[in-house]
């Protein structure tokens, strides 16, 4: 029998851009095609997507794409891949509905093969069998993806938790998971995000108690900020508002879209007479209102952040408002979030962000839940993914404590194939893999050189030295121009820079002045030295040498 290869193209050793290939013979499928968000060093980058080189090199093998759930880190890069390959995309009805807008922005969706694979469904793709199994998570219709191979099931846990009182009442399909275990799971690719957290995570339903307490005690309006895709959270806000006699409105485009799609499809039940438009809120007394808003990550253009700066035209903050911060800061966003929270406190808002009664719970499995998934499915090999190295490391330690031998636990790395044979498995040679940076205009492929220049520009600014050159006669025409942007030094240094360059050029021979590259180099070098000497700064220096 041949090898089954499991190749993470993203999502292994990081949180974000989940994308994994499974290959058996000439059949390849992808599980998830997600994006991640730029870190603070990636200037001018909007999103980060996987490098699809390996997929394109094997495009003849690629038979289908499967999506576990509708979060951006599992589906967000799909438009960029479907732009290059046309294969069927299998996922639940709900997930299809949630991603449709984004696909339509970039592609002609009529040309796409969007196939429904609801929880419990199974489909054959060449020699592979793919089954979708419901698990609980912070978005509806989240599913494990089980890939039937000749060596047994390769099971993708997806993002999951075991919530016995989920808001939509739809429990994880533990029955099917145990049967998979009976049939033989050769490898479990498991969520490991919360491997740091001991015990069992609280149910999403716990949040209702926190909401209830705030809704009944708050003297004025209650604002709630959460992720725009957190439909369960919105449902609870609606239910508790209804129970406590408040009306609910929404501020923020993405949240409005989600609410619209989900209520139309029946994934969100809006209690009678509970929802009102934002411009109708002024007709009601403040203590009768709940407003759901985007901005939980401190995004500059979000409704909440604009409100905190008094720049949101559709609604104004009032002293006496209460804000429930019903989310968790994504690392890197902390400063922006706290700046927003502090501005709100200054405006007289009472912000509830760390209440004794929880106003947020995680959608990811804690340690005992991760162990439960192992216990249910009894995989031969374990491969923690959807976690940074620290999470993968702790998952490994946890599995060792459960008695797993070291050689059956694989710390997956993007681009390193896990090659599963009949009697053993090992990490194979790396395949082409990496990250592709997409700029604010949607252009994929911001280079490292561009990032380096941007970092340099950001920290020290730029000095532009302009020289006009009569190349034929080897003469400098006119004077030397110096412009600066983002430069924090003194103006005298800029004037001296022009003088230094002028002196340097005057000392060149005619033949040297006929060599544009040489002149350019002389100008840049002289200007740089002047900046260091006279301003103690190292701005980027651009010699703009014009041949006239």
Find the binding residues for its own copies in span 173-212 (CB under 8 A). 196
CB of 467 to its own copies, least distance (A): 8
- Is 468 a binder of its own copies (CB under 8 A)? yes
Q: What are the beta bridge partners of residue 547?
A: 469
- Segment interacting with its own copies, rule: CB under 8 A, options 143-151, 245-253, 311-319, 445-453: 445-453
Residues 6+ apart with CB under 8 A from 542: 462, 463, 464, 465, 524
Exposed, middle or buried by CB within 10 Å (0-12, 13-18, 19+), for 536?
exposed
Q: What are the beta bridge partners of residue 152?
A: 149
- Segment interacting with its own copies, rule: CB under 8 A, options 239-247, 398-406, 453-461, 500-508: 453-461
**Nearer of residues 44 and 126 to its own copies, judged by Cβ:** 44
Kindly name the residue from 159, 173, 191, 460 that is annotated as catalytic: 191
CB of 18 to its own copies, least distance (A): 17
**Nearer of residues 285 and 331 to its own copies, judged by Cβ:** 331
| Distance from C-alpha of 344 to C-alpha of 309, rounded to nearest angstrom | 9
Size of the residue set binding its own copies (CB under 8 A): 71
Considering only residues 101, 477, 503, 512, which one is a binding residue for its own copies as defined by CB under 8 A? 477
Category of 298 on φ-ψ map: left (φ > 0), alpha (ψ -120 to 50) or beta: left
Query: x/- string (CB under 8 A) for its own copies, residues 112-141?
Result: ------------------------------
Considering only residues 58, 455, 496, 514, which one is a binding residue for its own copies as defined by CB under 8 A? 455
Footprint on residues 507-546 left by its own copies (CB under 8 A): 535-537, 540, 542, 544-546
The secondary structure element, H or E, covering residue 456 is: helix 448-460
- Is 346 a binder of its own copies (CB under 8 A)? yes
**Nearer of residues 430 and 445 to its own copies, judged by Cβ:** 445
Q: Three-state SS across 323-346?
A: EEECCCCCCCCHHHHHHHHHHHHH
Q: Which three-class secondary structure state does DSSP give residue 474?
A: coil
Query: x/- string (CB under 8 A) for its own copies, residues 281-320?
Result: ----------------------------------------
- Is 479 a binder of its own copies (CB under 8 A)? yes
191 is catalytic: yes
Exposed, middle or buried by CB within 10 Å (0-12, 13-18, 19+), for 270?
middle
Kindly name the residue from 364, 386, 414, 460 that is annotated as catalytic: 364
CB of 243 to its own copies, least distance (A): 27
Phi and psi, residue 244, nearest 5°:
-110, 10
Contact 149, 128 (CB under 8 A): yes
- Is 547 a binder of its own copies (CB under 8 A)? yes
- Is 85 a binder of its own copies (CB under 8 A)? no
Footprint on residues 28-47 left by its own copies (CB under 8 A): 39-40, 43-44
The number of C-alpha atoms within 13 Å of 94 and in the hemisphere containing its C-beta is 22
Contact 384, 11 (CB under 8 A): no
Structural tokens at position 275: 């929802």
CB of 463 to its own copies, least distance (A): 11
- Segment interacting with its own copies, rule: CB under 8 A, options 56-64, 183-191, 232-240, 339-347: 339-347
Considering only residues 171, 351, 355, 508, which one is a binding residue for its own copies as defined by CB under 8 A? 351
**Nearer of residues 116 and 514 to its own copies, judged by Cβ:** 514
| Distance from C-alpha of 269 to C-alpha of 192, rounded to nearest angstrom | 32
The number of C-alpha atoms within 13 Å of 192 and in the hemisphere containing its C-beta is 30
Residues 6+ apart with CB under 8 A from 432: 51, 53, 54, 57, 415
| Distance from C-alpha of 328 to C-alpha of 334, rounded to nearest angstrom | 9
Footprint on residues 378-417 left by its own copies (CB under 8 A): 388-390, 392-393
- Is 427 a binder of its own copies (CB under 8 A)? no
| Distance from C-alpha of 294 to C-alpha of 378, rounded to nearest angstrom | 40
| Distance from C-alpha of 82 to C-alpha of 102, rounded to nearest angstrom | 12
- Is 454 a binder of its own copies (CB under 8 A)? yes
- Is 506 a binder of its own copies (CB under 8 A)? no
Structural tokens at position 464: 């532009």
- Segment interacting with its own copies, rule: CB under 8 A, options 70-78, 141-149, 260-268, 443-451: 443-451
Considering only residues 282, 459, 473, 509, which one is a binding residue for its own copies as defined by CB under 8 A? 459
287 is catalytic: no
CB of 501 to its own copies, least distance (A): 13
Q: What are the beta bridge partners of residue 387?
A: 12, 14
Residues marked active site are found at 191, 364
């Amino acid at each position: 029998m041949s090898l089954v290869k499991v190749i993470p193209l993203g999502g292994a050793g990081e949180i974000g851009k989940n994308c994994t290939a499974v290959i058996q013979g000439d059949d390849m499928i992808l599980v998830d095609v997600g994006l991640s968000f730029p870190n603070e060093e990636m200037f001018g980058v909007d999103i980060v997507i996987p490098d699809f080189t390996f997929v394109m090199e094997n495009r003849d093998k690629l038979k289908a794409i499967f999506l576990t759930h509708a979060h951006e880190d599992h589906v967000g890069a799909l438009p960029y891949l479907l732009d290059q390959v046309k294969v069927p995309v299998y996922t639940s009805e709900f997930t299809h509905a949630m991603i449709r807008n984004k696909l339509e922005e970039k592609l002609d969706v009529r040309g796409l093969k969007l196939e429904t694979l609801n929880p419990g469904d199974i489909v054959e793709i060449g020699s592979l069998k793919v089954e979708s199994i419901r698990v609980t998570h912070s978005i509806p219709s989240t599913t494990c993806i089980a890939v039937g191979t000749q060596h047994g099931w390769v099971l993708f846990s997806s993002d999951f938790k075991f919530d016995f009182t989920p808001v939509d009442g739809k429990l994880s399909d533990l029955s099917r998971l145990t049967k998979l275990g009976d049939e033989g799971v050769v490898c479990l690719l498991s969520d490991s995000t919360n491997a740091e957290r001991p015990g069992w995570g609280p149910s999403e339903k716990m949040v209702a108690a926190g909401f209830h307490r705030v809704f009944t005690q708050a003297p004025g309006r209650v604002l709630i900020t959460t992720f725009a895709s957190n439909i369960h959270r919105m449902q609870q806000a609606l239910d508790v508002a209804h129970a406590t006699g408040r009306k609910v409105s929404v501020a923020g485009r993405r949240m409005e879209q989600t609410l619209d799609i989900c209520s139309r499809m029946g994934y969100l039940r809006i209690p009678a007479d509970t929802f009102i438009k934002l411009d109708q809120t002024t007709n009601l007394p403040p203590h009768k209102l709940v407003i759901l808003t985007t901005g939980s990550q401190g995004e500059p253009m979000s409704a909440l952040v604009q409100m905190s700066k008094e720049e949101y035209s559709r609604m104004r903050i009032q002293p006496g408002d209460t804000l429930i911060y019903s989310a968790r800061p994504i690392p890197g966003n902390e400063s922006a979030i706290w700046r927003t929270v502090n501005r709100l406190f200054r405006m007289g808002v009472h912000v509830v962000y760390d209440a004794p009664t929880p106003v947020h719970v995680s959608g990811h499995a804690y340690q005992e839940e991760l162990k439960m998934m192992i216990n249910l499915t009894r995989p031969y090999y374990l491969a923690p993914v959807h976690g940074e190295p620290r999470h993968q490391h702790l998952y490994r330690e946890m599995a060792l404590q459960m008695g797993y031998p070291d050689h059956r636990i694989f710390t997956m790395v993007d681009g390193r194939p896990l090659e599963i044979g009949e009697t053993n498995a090992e990490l194979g040679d790396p395949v082409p893999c990496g990250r592709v940076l997409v700029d604010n205009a949607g252009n994929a492929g911001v280079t490292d050189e561009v990032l380096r220049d941007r970092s340099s520009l950001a920290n020290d600014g730029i000095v532009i030295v302009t020289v006009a050159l009569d190349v034929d006669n080897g003469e400098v025409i006119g004077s030397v121009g110096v412009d600066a942007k983002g430069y924090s030094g003194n103006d005298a240094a800029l004037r001296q820079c022009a003088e230094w360059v002028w002196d340097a050029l005057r000392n060149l021979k005619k033949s040297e002045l006929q060599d544009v590259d040489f002149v350019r180099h002389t100008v840049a070098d002289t200007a740089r030295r002047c900046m260091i000497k006279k301003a103690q700064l190292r701005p980027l220096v651009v010699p703009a040498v014009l041949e006239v």
